[in-house]
Structure 1
Amino acid sequence: MRRSATTLALQAVVVTAIVGGTTAFVSLEKNVTLSVDGQKREVHTFAKTIGDLLERENVSVGARDLVAPRPDEPLSDGSTVVVRYARPLTITIDGQTRKVWVTATNVAEALEQLGVHAERAYISVDRNMPISRSGLRLDIRLPHDVTFLVDGKRVPITTTAATVREALAEAHITLGPKDQTTPVTLDAYPADGAVITVLRIQGKTVTRQEEIPFDVQEIKDSSMFEGEKKVVQEGVEGLKTVTYEFTYVNGQLKSKKKITEKIIREPKPQIVRVGTKENPRSVPGADHLNWRALAECESGGNPDAVNPAGPYYGLYQFDLGTWRSVGGQGKPTDYGWEEQTYRAKLLYKQRGDSPWPVCGKKLYT
């Protein structure tokens, strides 16, 4: 059966429409490469923009994440879309800690992004260690030049040690059990350019005997004139054993600390009788004389002087009989200047200067 020209023409129009529609549909499809944190895959999509592609592929991104090209840019056939998720990095460099965000997937890339040149630095983890999306803590210590002053020498060192103590070990400097450093401690961070002095500290224990001073006890005596004193019991110093700890810093004594003390002998107090009786009145006819000059001549001015030849006692060298003849009690040396002079004046009133044949003339000087 022969088809009419009209039928054939209609069939041609339908075929053309179908082919044209198929061609238009195929032209809307795009073949792109999607890279998420370095993981690539080929995607066939009808998405119009980068953001549309990510939504269709269920790739969620945040404000800190890297998307290239930008999500609002159109998507072209054959494009490569890169997504890098941001990762929190807590990084400590030379003791200074801060939190940053990086889109690197391993430590080496993160250091490059941060501009940290750490070729010779200490890094707490492997440089190739991957960084998960939960982040990572990273400790970096850059090389520092440190100089130690120890035992009279300068010891320079380049170190990435975390503490002065570790740096000393790297420099092969051995510390004693009490040694310290200044101006920073052994546990401080060795800053770049620091000059650190090692203090050699040694302790020495010394035990020695020391005297204990005696106390002086005074007893009031109304039979003695004011100003007169007489020792009735000599004081005796005590004795104790004391142990000290001496601390030397670089050979110089720095401190002394008492550790123990033990008394061997208690001190014995010195007992002194002190006069309270009102001083005697003057002796008319004798007060104007130079009694001090006479005393200097007779005894050198010593109220305790004793000349065994007599014996003679005190400032004016009384013998006991003469002393008692003018009302004196005991011995002249039991009394001070006032009492002895008073009795000497009384003697002068009785006998003039004759009791002092050699020095008597001093009374008139």
Structure 2
Amino acid sequence: MRGKRRAPRPPIPWRSRWTPVVCLTGVVALGAVAVVSFLVKEVVVVVDGRPLAVRSFAGTVGGVLGDAGVSLGVGDVVRPAGQEAVSDGATIEVHRARPITLILDGRTSHHLVTATNVADALAELDIVPAAGKLSAPPGDAVPLEGMSLTVYTRRKVYVVAGTTRFTSRTTARTVRQVLRQKRIPLGRGYRVSPPLTSFPEDGTVITIMPPRALPVDPEVMHLNWAALAECESNGDPQAYNPDGPYYGMYQFSLPMWEAVGGMGLPSAWPEDEQTYRAQLLFQHVQGRWQGQWPNCGGHLFTRTALAAP
């Protein structure tokens, strides 16, 4: 008697004809994951102090910034540089450029800075905030679209008024403001050099001259003073000759300038003041001009001024 027929055995999965395909697919997938994990980089991009975590396949700083959606403008600073290679775990710093319209002591200039506050912007421009007057507090932010900033530095100026001489450290915008700060009144007819509306640079000497109390004889006024000035200094009111020293259009020595009421340096005064004092000097020496202008004094008596060389 024949026995019962056995049921067929179920196929073993790993012996299936699809087994090699499944295994190969798994290996490829695992390999791809491993490759991706190896190639992708975790990078931190810091834009103006704000960090941003970025995953990128890029091999350079510029590529990572592109993946992060960070575009660069004129004047922006990137560290490391855009063409440099980037590694996993790297940090990239981006400092945005900000336009600054700087009005420094009345002079306007335009700059790009990467600082995010006023104090750092001034430091970037080599200006010490504590040394002057600012239009914005040092802690104020500098917006990305830029700003206008006015700075008046603290300068040293000198004031000469008769026998009074003193030094002033000031942020004043005009000579007039310097005198007001020092409570120096100006009477009727007083003259100031440089002009009251001029800007007092560092080292400026402000001279205050009293009214012209002494008259000039009409005959003296009609001498050829232009010819004398042309001979003495080429007509330059700021001329200086270290041999004396001698100053100004008429080459005054300081003792002779002071003898006719002059204050400060002759060369600090405008032409009309120098001419007035020269005329007083002519009267003071009673027309004996040879001692003051031995080489050029004769030109006073010519009819026309000398031609410029």
Q: TM-score, normalised by structure 2?
A: 0.58
Correspondence for 2:213 among 228, 248, 253: 253
1:117 and 1:106 mapped to 2: Cα distance?
14
Query: Who wins on radius of gyration, i.e. which is larger?
Result: 1
Correspondence for 1:17 among 1, 20, 28: 28
Per the alignment, residue 60 of structure 1 pairs with: 71
1:24 counterpart letter in structure 2: V
Equivalences for residues 68-83 of structure 1 within 5 A? 68-83=79-94
2:82 and 2:43 mapped to 1: Cα distance?
15
Cα offset for 1:155? 2.4
1:203-255 deviation line (CA, Å, top 9, x unaligned): xxxxxxxxxxxxxxxxxxxxxxxxxxxxxxxxxxxxxxxxxxxxxxx365268
Asked if structure 2 preserves the Cα contact closer than 8 Å seen for 1:90 and 1:98, the reply is yes
Per the alignment, residue 197 of structure 2 pairs with: 187
Asked if 1:115 corresponds to 2:75, the answer is no
1:158 and 1:61 mapped to 2: Cα distance?
44
Q: Which has the higher strand share?
A: 1
Per the alignment, residue 90 of structure 1 pairs with: 101
2:35 and 2:63 mapped to 1: Cα distance?
20
Per the alignment, residue 26 of structure 1 pairs with: 37
Question: Cα distance 1:181–1:100, how it changes in 2: closer, same or farther (>3 A)?
Answer: farther
Cα offset for 1:94? 2.6
2:202 and 2:167 mapped to 1: Cα distance?
12
Instruction: Give 3-state SS (helix, strand or coil) of 2:43's partner.
Output: strand
Question: Cα distance 1:3–1:184, how it changes in 2: closer, same or farther (>3 A)?
Answer: closer
RMSD: 2.8
Asked if 1:135 corresponds to 2:180, the answer is no
Asked if structure 2 preserves the Cα contact closer than 8 Å seen for 1:184 and 1:196, the reply is yes
Question: Cα distance 1:181–1:66, how it changes in 2: closer, same or farther (>3 A)?
Answer: farther
Instruction: Give 3-state SS (helix, strand or coil) of 1:253's partner.
Output: coil
Per the alignment, residue 153 of structure 1 pairs with: 164
How many pairs are equivalent? Answer: 205
Per the alignment, residue 111 of structure 2 pairs with: 100
Correspondence for 2:61 among 18, 29, 50: 50
Cα offset for 1:196? 0.9
Instruction: Give 3-state SS (helix, strand or coil) of 2:131's partner.
Output: coil
1:253 counterpart letter in structure 2: A
Correspondence for 2:182 among 146, 167, 171: 171
Per the alignment, residue 254 of structure 2 pairs with: none
1:109 and 1:186 mapped to 2: Cα distance?
35
Asked if structure 2 preserves the Cα contact closer than 8 Å seen for 1:155 and 1:171, the reply is no
1:247-304 deviation line (CA, Å, top 9, x unaligned): xxx365268xxxxxxxxxxxxxxxxxxxxxxxxxxxxxxxxxxxxxxxxxxxxxxxxx
Asked if structure 1 preserves the Cα contact closer than 8 Å seen for 2:119 and 2:129, the reply is no
Instruction: Give 3-state SS (helix, strand or coil) of 1:16's partner.
Output: helix
Instruction: Give 3-state SS (helix, strand or coil) of 1:21's partner.
Output: helix
Unpaired runs of 5+ residues, structure 1, are: 200-249, 256-365
1:130 and 1:191 mapped to 2: Cα distance?
30
1:198 and 1:140 mapped to 2: Cα distance?
28
Question: Cα distance 1:113–1:5, how it changes in 2: closer, same or farther (>3 A)?
Answer: same
1:84 and 1:47 mapped to 2: Cα distance?
21
2:56 counterpart letter in structure 1: T
Asked if structure 1 preserves the Cα contact closer than 8 Å seen for 2:173 and 2:199, the reply is yes
2:27 and 2:189 mapped to 1: Cα distance?
98
Per the alignment, residue 268 of structure 1 pairs with: none
1:9-46 deviation line (CA, Å, top 9, x unaligned): 76555433322221111222221111112222222223
Asked if structure 1 preserves the Cα contact closer than 8 Å seen for 2:160 and 2:208, the reply is yes
1:26 and 1:44 mapped to 2: Cα distance?
11
Per the alignment, residue 144 of structure 1 pairs with: 155
Asked if structure 2 preserves the Cα contact closer than 8 Å seen for 1:88 and 1:134, the reply is yes
1:308-340 deviation line (CA, Å, top 9, x unaligned): xxxxxxxxxxxxxxxxxxxxxxxxxxxxxxxxx
Asked if structure 2 preserves the Cα contact closer than 8 Å seen for 1:148 and 1:195, the reply is yes
Per the alignment, residue 261 of structure 2 pairs with: none
Per the alignment, residue 332 of structure 1 pairs with: none
